Structure 1
Amino acid sequence: MKLVGIAGSLVGEKTSQAVHDVLLEAKRVDASLETALIDLRDYEVEFVNGAPLAYYNEDTWHVVNTILSADMLVVGSPIYQASISGALKNLFDHLPVDAFKSKVTGMITTGGSEKHFLVSEYQLKPILSYLKGIVPTCSVFIHNDDFNDDKQIVNRNVMERITTLAKEMISIQRRVQVENKK
């Protein structure tokens, strides 16, 4: 199985670190898992203009095809103005409507206010569901205070939730694969 993490921010390191931690934990749960991180800071994903994917630059093509080739996804976003990042929304707009069919799509968000912990439920989850993703019951919100100065997560409860998310994603995806073979 292949798990792709998407860090949906163009600045900062916290969201990327959080997604990376989910990938590491998933690898601990299942050593045979193939993982990859798409950090949007590293790519020039063009703005959607309605053209077919073939008309966009190589970075856009690469990112979209990496996502489509995944069995599972963990999507990370910082919370800006009570919503996901524009860069992440733009990426979603490049995807076909069934891009996440039969794929578990975990959510992890970071933010500076505890008031934003439900953004994943009200902003991100509907998009993942629209793209036919299977959304686990567990999601992870990480407050900026849960990171140290080196951008490492230091809150044990957050790390436990990351472990729970990784385990749940792998468990669900295994069941989906068994069902799809029938």
Structure 2
Amino acid sequence: MINEKQTLMTFSFDAFDLNTISNVSHSMKTVVISGSPRKNANTEIMMRYVYEYTKSKNEDTKFINLSEGQIEYYHGPDGNYNEATKQATKDITEADIWLVGSPIYNSLFSSALKNLFEYVNYKKTAGKIAGIAILASGNIGFTDVQTLITQLMSYFRVITNPKAVFMTADMIKDGQIIDGEIKTRLHELVDETITLASKLK
């Protein structure tokens, strides 16, 4: 396995202006994934914000929301799965960029997110680019979960933007993100991941 993380750290995101990002994003497909299975989850609020910002740059952006409960539990490659599960698998497989958000549950990312990726064929995902956003109730466990998600991405031969966003639940109030700095970081996550994809395309 090549040392992708060290290679990524040498890239300069500053070299690409917003016009370049916009032009590149329009030529690539993006999927935004909210990895919390809970209804009205803070992770969903975080990733819907990411989705809306990404969608403003590229119409070809899909949103997979695991709190809708439509993704079935994986029980083998020969299972007869519903259309929502098949469509989510198709969207992930066809996307050039994955923007993945997860809560922290017991120092791990969500089992619902792991279940989703059981459907994805690693032989069809090499060279894709991922960005990561993680939400927790407090400032603990972020780097551990970032490492776990990055390892999951590596299994699929996906290169991960090393600059993840770490967000806490107190940054959300009444269904809205209230922290201006974290909004900026989420924008940067999208822009920098698009830039990274353009460099490796």
Partner of 1:6: 33
TM-score normalized by the length of structure 1: 0.87
- How far apart, CA to CA, are the structure 1 residues paired with 2:66 and 2:124? 18
Determine helix, strand or coil for the equivalent of 2:54.
helix
- Counterparts in 2 of 1:142-157, with a 5 A limit? 142-148=167-173, 150-157=174-181
* Residue number in structure 2 paired with 1:132: 157
Please, which runs of 5 or more residues in structure 2 have no aligned partner? 1-27
Q: With the length of structure 2 as denominator, give the TM-score of the two structures.
A: 0.79
CA distance in 2, matches of 1:100, 1:108: 20
The structure-2 alpha-carbon separation of the partners of 1:23 and 1:89, relative to structure 1 and needing over 3 Å to count, comes to same
Q: Which residue is equivalent to 2:63?
A: 37
Identity %: 29
In the aligned structure 2, how far is the partner of 1:145 from the partner of 1:107?
A: 19
CA distance in 1 between counterparts of 2:149 and 2:105 reads 13
The corresponding residue for 2:24 is none
Aligned to 2:93: 68
Where 1:174 maps in the other structure, the secondary structure is helix
Q: How do residues 32-111 of structure 1 correspond to structure 2 at under 5 angstroms?
A: 32-52=58-78, 55-111=80-136
Q: Number of residues paired by the alignment?
A: 173
| C-alpha contact 2:41 2:67 (8 A) present in aligned 1 | no
Change (3 A) 1:10 1:175: same
Residues 140 and 98 of structure 1: CA distance in aligned 2, closer, same or farther (over 3 Å): farther
Once the 2 structures are TM-superposed, how far is the Cα of residue 99 of structure 1 from its aligned partner?
4.3
Does structure 1 retain, via aligned residues, the 8 Å contact 2:98–2:129?
Answer: yes
Q: Is the 8 A contact 1:84 1:119 kept in 2?
A: no
